[in-house]
Structure formats: C-alpha cells, structure tokens
Amino acid sequence: MANREENLKLLKPKIDVVFQSLFSKKNEKITKAFAEAMLDEKVKKITINDDKELFREKPEDKLGILDLELDINDTEKVDVEIQLVDRSNIQERLLFYFSKLYYNEVKKGDDYKKAKRVVMVAILDYDLDLTKEIKRMETKWKLREENAKDLVLTDKIEIDIIELSKVRAEYERNKQNKKAQWALFINDPNTREVKEIMKENEDIEEAVVTVHKMTEDEKMRRLADLREKAIMDEKAIRRKGYEDGHDAGYEDGMAKGMAKGMAKGMAEGMAEGMAQGIAKGIEEEQKRNIQKMKDIAKNLKQMNITNEQICNILKIKKDELEKLLQN
C-alpha cells in the first residue's frame, strides 16, 4: 500500500478543474495561505466566491469564467487566473476580467471611493513575449505617469503576471520565497523541489495531502485527465496552425480545437459556426476535434456531471453545450 502511494502521480493544480476544486470554500485554510503568498500581505478575513461566472447584462455580452475570486479583508477583490495556452491575447483578456470586476464593485457602492481595490493575478504556463528579457518570475503592472514612473494614478488597479517557466530559477535564488514555493506546487506537486518545500511549509504540505486525496478520487482524476488532454489537443492545433502560417485563435479557453480563426467577421463560438478563413490544412482536424468534444460532453453527461460543470470543463457556453448534446 505504501509503495502504491509513493508511486501515485498527483494531479497538477494548474489544470483548472483541479485548481478550482483545491482553492475553494471547502479548503479555506489552504486558499488563505495561497492568497497571502500571492499578495505578499496578511489576510485577516477572506471570502471565497465559488460562483465562477462574471455577470453579463445582455445575452450578447462576452462571458468570463473566473478560476479563483476572493474578497480580502473587506478592502480588496482578487482574481487569480491560470492560463495554460498562449492565445496571444492575455493582455486583453486580463483587462476584460479586471474591468468586469471593478465595474461590479463601483456599481454596488454608493460612491466611487468605496470601490474595493482590484488585483488580477495571472499564472502563465508559457513564455510571454512582452517580458522575455525579464528574468524575474513576476511582473507587476499599474497605471503610472509617463514621465514620472514613480507616480501612480491609483492603488486600486494592479495586474500581476507570474510565468511558471521562470519559477524554478526564482526558487533557487531564494528558497524562502513563498510565492515561488506555491508556484512550483501549482506547476507540478510531484517534483523534488515540492517535496523539499513540504518540510518547511506546512500549508503546502496540507495542499499536497489534499491533492493526494483528489488524485485518488476516480471521478476527479477522469475530469482532470479530460481537461489535460483537451489542453494538449488545443496546443497541438495551435502549433499546426503556426506551422501552416496561420494563427488559429481560440475563444475563452474553448477546448478540443473549437477554432475561431483570425479572419474578419470571425464567429463567436460554435453557435455561429467556424470562423471563415481557417486554412484547409487544419479544417478536417478541427472537425474531428469538435466530434471529440461531443463525445466527451455525452460521456460526462452519462457520469451525471451537471451541465454547468461540463461547460466549465470544456470552457464553452450553455448554448454551445446544448448544440453538442443535440446530435
């Protein structure tokens, strides 16, 4: 039994279904420790929002799905996002999420000054061209005056970007860096470094134990495997698109090659059909991947997974799921 546990490969928390299950209301202590490390501040009070969907006032408004949304000390709204696939639009995506969160805060308050500070934390599993010359794992972005870089317009706006490819080097420079410790755990809890970290960081040790239990759960393991395969397929299709000289852009993490394309008049999601201008070299592959999505959706339905969970797993909207299940 002991050998079986030692050989058990733990699920990776960077897979969104694992991340969202781990950092949730049921694991408040772990989530609080993670938030303190990400924000570099003491968290006295934390409210974890398990409703991942950003509201939209009109049906045609773009929908956002949050990985982790927190209220911190009644003064801050924090959103942590995991991005595993480079869609070349991370800046616009973060601005979209930020604007929705900040708008919600202003709308709820009686006065603009009562709006909470909003912090976006983006954890990227790919290299960002914008910061390729920076060796640090983290960059922080605020609104600054162009000719007086130390002059910040407001402290209510902050976007932090963490690149997982730079985390190990950061940890080796300073093994007491808790942000680097958590980032290593999120990237892969099976590594030598995480085993080393567990001896000193009790919160990460508890997180590893929790992920161990999740890994032993057959249903969770199957969901995580499906998501990881979907992500791998999407990366493969994007590589194929680049090799053919095309940028097959994708919408909101849509899995299994739901390509939107880069042509003008691109359609939004499956409901409006494939975007025009997709190269013939990947067209058939896209069709096969849509069929795979249908098969996965139907299999999940047979496993008594709710429609909401299926949409979250496949990163699609409810009307798109209905189309998948129709045939």
> Are residue 38 and residue 169 in the same domain, yes or no?
yes
Averaged over 302-319, what is the pLDDT?
Answer: 79
> Are residue 47 and residue 20 in the same domain, yes or no?
yes
Averaged pLDDT score across all residues of the chain: 79
Averaged over 234-248, what is the pLDDT?
Answer: 59
Residues contacting 276, CB < 8 A, separation 6+: 261, 263, 264, 265, 266, 267
> Are residue 140 and residue 18 in the same domain, yes or no?
yes
> Are residue 208 and residue 225 in the same domain, yes or no?
no
Q: Is the per-residue pLDDT at 93 higher than 60? A: yes
The range of the structural domain enclosing residue 261 comes to: 219-326
Distance separating alpha carbons of residues 199 and 189, to the nearest angstrom: 13
Tokens describing residue 196: 């080393």
> Are residue 190 and residue 278 in the same domain, yes or no?
no
> Are residue 295 and residue 146 in the same domain, yes or no?
no
pLDDT of residue 132: 92
> 110 pLDDT band (50/70/90 cuts)?
low
Averaged over 269-288, what is the pLDDT?
Answer: 47
pLDDT of residue 283: 57
> Are residue 240 and residue 198 in the same domain, yes or no?
no
Q: Is the per-residue pLDDT at 275 higher than 60? A: no
Highest mean pLDDT among 115-129, 227-241, 301-315: 115-129
> Are residue 228 and residue 197 in the same domain, yes or no?
no
Stretch among 159-163, 184-188, 296-300 having the lowest mean pLDDT: 296-300
* Residue 72, phi then psi, degrees to nearest 5: -115, 125
Distance separating alpha carbons of residues 322 and 327, to the nearest angstrom: 9
Distance separating alpha carbons of residues 284 and 265, to the nearest angstrom: 21
Residues contacting 230, CB < 8 A, separation 6+: 255, 256, 296, 314
> Are residue 189 and residue 241 in the same domain, yes or no?
no
> Are residue 204 and residue 248 in the same domain, yes or no?
no
pTM, two decimal places? 0.71
> 35 pLDDT band (50/70/90 cuts)?
very high
Share of the chain above pLDDT 90, in %: 44
Number of domain units in the chain: 2
Q: Is the per-residue pLDDT at 42 higher than 90? A: yes
Last residue in a domain, options 167, 199, 216: 216
pLDDT digits (tens, 9 = 90+) for 126-153: 999 999 999 999 999 999 999 998 899 9
